[in-house]
């Protein structure tokens, strides 16, 4: 059985996707998954009372496994959060919307909605967040689940090798 790495988006690719997403509630849903690592079900369950603006936190109620957790959000999401709850769509609509936006952005990757969550984890790890911090953000029970994001690209390895050998 082969273990495939999750497909991830760069920040630049994610920006292109947002530019190719017409509906604001779709944009907000995508941002919540990319910036906060939320599952599609968590995005759709989010209510206005779950947004704690004074703390900059989202209260995720009954995530996977029925667990609650608090997730910080970046301040750049502050204005967009007035669009919570996202009542105008469901799971299938968001799955279709991400496919359409990826195609419109001319990104040649087989991206699914859950790829936003994968991309979030990979991005935060690449920026220096610890594995434990990402585990908490994503709401994983086991650190080994979060460990799948500890991959490096061949380009990263090549750059480090060049740094070591002075190339």
Q: Is residue 27 part of a domain?
A: yes
In a domain, 6, yes or no: no
Q: Which of 25, 26, 117, 118 is catalytic?
A: 117
Which is the catalytic residue, given 31, 39, 113, 118?
39
The CATH number for 25's domain is: 1.10.443.10
Report the 3 state secondary structure along 26-74: HHHHHHHHHHHCCCHHHHHHCCHHHEECCCCEEEECCCHHHCCEEEECC
| pLDDT above 70 as % of the chain | 92
User: Tell me, what's the pLDDT at 2?
Assistant: 46
Domain of 75 in residue numbering reads as 11-165
Three-state DSSP state, 120: helix
Q: Looking only at Cα atoms, what is the longest distance across the chain?
A: 55
Q: Please report the pLDDT score of residue 144 as a whole number.
A: 81
- To 10 degrees, what angle do helices 11-19 and 114-126 make? 140
Residue 4 belongs to some domain of the structure: no
Told to judge if 159 belongs to the known catalytic residues of this protein, a careful annotator would answer no
Q: How distant, in Å, are the alpha carbons of 37, 40, 64, 71 from that of 138? A: 6, 12, 10, 8
Low-confidence ranges of the chain (pLDDT < 70): 1-5, 63, 151-154, 156-157
Is 2 inside any structural domain?
no
Is residue 76 one of the residues assigned to a domain?
Answer: yes
What is the b/e burial string over 43-75, where b = at least 16 CB atoms within 10 angstroms of the residue's CB? bbbbeeebbeeeeebbebeebeeeeeeebebee
Global confidence as pTM = 0.85
Number of domains in the chain: 1
Establish whether 39 is a catalytic residue: yes
Instruction: Judge whether 99 counts as a catalytic residue.
Output: no
140 is catalytic: yes
Mean pLDDT, all residues of the chain: 89
| pLDDT value of residue 40 | 96
pLDDT given at position 1: 44
Is 141 among the domain residues? yes
Q: What are the tens digits of pLDDT across the range 119-142?
A: 999 899 888 898 899 888 888 778
């Amino acid at each position: 059985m082969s273990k495939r790495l999750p497909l991830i988006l760069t920040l630049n690719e994610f920006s292109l996707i947002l530019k190719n997403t017409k509906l604001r509630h779709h944009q907000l849903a995508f941002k919540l998954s990319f910036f906060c690592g939320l599952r599609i079900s968590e995005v759709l369950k989010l209510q206005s009372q779950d947004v704690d603006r004074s703390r900059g936190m989202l209260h995720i109620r009954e995530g996977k496994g029925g667990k609650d957790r608090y997730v910080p959000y970046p301040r750049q999401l502050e204005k967009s959060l007035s669009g919570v709850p996202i009542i105008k769509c469901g799971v299938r609509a968001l799955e279709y919307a991400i496919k359409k936006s990826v195609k419109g952005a001319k990104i040649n990757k087989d991206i699914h909605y859950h790829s936003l969550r994968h991309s979030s984890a990979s991005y935060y790890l690449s920026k220096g967040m610890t594995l434990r911090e990402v585990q908490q953000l994503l709401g994983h029970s086991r650190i080994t689940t979060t460990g799948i994001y500890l991959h490096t690209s061949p380009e990263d390895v090549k750059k480090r090798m060049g740094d070591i050998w002075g190339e």
